[in-house]
Amino acid sequence: MIILKIGGSSLTNKDSSKSEVNSDSLKRIALEIKSSLDNSAKELIVVHGAGSFGHPPAKKYKIGEVFDKSEYPQKRIGFCETQNAVKKLNMYVCEAFIEQGLPVVAIPASSFMTATNKRITHGDLDSFNKYLEKGFIPVIYGDVVLDDELEFCVISGDQLIQYLAMNLNPNQVILGTDVDGVYNKNPKTHDDAIFFDKLSSLEELDAFEGTTNVDVTGGMIGKIKELLYLADLGIESKIINAEVEDNIFKVLENEDVKGTVISRGK
C-alpha cells in the first residue's frame, strides 16, 4: 500500500486570497498517477491539502481557537464554510482523477473522524480497507472535525498522513509539495538554503525559520513533526517536489527522485 499526499501548494494558488485550482498541475499529477497504476497494480490512498480553499475561512473564524459560548453559532457557521470550501477543492481533484479513469472515492475526515485538542482521536478506517479491497483509490483531505475539547478544529493533510500511516502500515509514504524537500531554511526566500536528503530528529531543525506561506496547519515544520512521529514507529516517509514533471510517476515506480527521507535511522 502507498499513501500519497499532494500538498495544497501544488493544487492551488496558495498565496492567493481567492480559491484557485492549479488545473495544469492537477491534470499532470492525475496523469502521472494513472501511468504508474497502468504500469503495475498498486493499492493507493491519496491525501490532499486544503491550500487556498481551506485556509481563508479557517483563519477568518479562528477554527481551533478557544472561544466564548456566545460565539458558538458564528464558529459553527465558520466550520460549515470551511468544510464546504475544502469539499469544493476535493471535487476538482476527484473530477480530474476520474477524467483519467482513476477510481477515486472521497472519504471526508469531517464525516467520520473526531479530535481531542487538535489531534485525531477517533476515525474508523474500515471503509478505507473495504474500498481498497474493491480496487478504489480512497481520497481524504485537510478538513474540519469536531473536537472534544475545542468543539471544532482543523485537521491538516499532514496529520491525516500520520494517522493513516500509523493505522494502516503502508509500504511507502510520500508527500508531494512545491519544494524539493527540507532545507535548513525556506528555499523560496533563501538562495543559500542547504538541502537535507535525510532527516532524523527535531534537533536538526533548530536552525529553521518559519514558513512564509500562510498556513494555519503549520507548513513545513508541522509536516516534519508529523513525519517524525511516524519515524518513531519505524515508518519511513519521503518529501518530494510534486511540481517537477514525472516526480510523482517515478516515486510511485520506486525510482530515485530527489527528496528528503524522514526516518530515525541514520
**Site for ligand ADP, rule CB under 6 A:** 7-10, 49, 51, 177-179, 182-183, 185-188, 208, 211-213, 215, 219-220
Is 85 annotated to bind a ligand? Reply is no
Is 7 annotated to bind a ligand? Reply is yes
User: H or E segment at 2?
Assistant: strand 2-6
Least CB distance from residue 124 to ligand ADP, whole Å? 25
CA dist 216 and 58 (Å) reads 8
Least CB distance from residue 239 to ligand ADP, whole Å? 8
Residue number, 4 or 179, with CB nearest to ligand ADP: 179
- Residue 30: all three cell numbers together: 492525475
Residue number, 132 or 139, with CB nearest to ligand ADP: 139
- Residue 218: all three cell numbers together: 503549520
Residues shown for the chain:
266
Is 188 annotated to bind a ligand? Reply is yes
- Residue 65: all three cell numbers together: 481557537
Residue number, 141 or 183, with CB nearest to ligand ADP: 183
In the block, which residue shows the cell 537535507? 196
Residue number, 100 or 213, with CB nearest to ligand ADP: 213
Is 92 annotated to bind a ligand? Reply is no
Least CB distance from residue 15 to ligand ADP, whole Å? 10
CA dist 67 and 171 (Å) reads 41
Residue number, 15 or 149, with CB nearest to ligand ADP: 15
User: H or E segment at 230?
Assistant: helix 219-232
Residue number, 75 or 238, with CB nearest to ligand ADP: 238
Is 9 annotated to bind a ligand? Reply is yes
Least CB distance from residue 130 to ligand ADP, whole Å? 28
Q: What's the CA dihedral at 17, 85, 239, 10 to 10 degrees?
A: -50
Least CB distance from residue 54 to ligand ADP, whole Å? 10
Strands in 237-241's sheet, in edge-to-edge order, are 104-106, 137-141, 44-48, 2-6, 172-177, 237-241, 259-262, 198-199
Give the chain's radius of gyration (CA, Å). 18
Is 266 annotated to bind a ligand? Reply is no
Is 184 annotated to bind a ligand? Reply is yes
Q: What's the CA dihedral at 84, 69, 115, 3 to 10 degrees?
A: 20
Is 187 annotated to bind a ligand? Reply is yes
Question: What residue number has its CB nearest to ligand ADP?
Answer: 7
In the block, which residue shows the cell 456566545? 70
Binding residues: 5-9, 50-51, 55, 157, 178, 183-188, 219, 223
Binding residues for substrate: 50, 55, 157
Binding residues for ATP: 5-9, 51, 178, 183-188, 219, 223
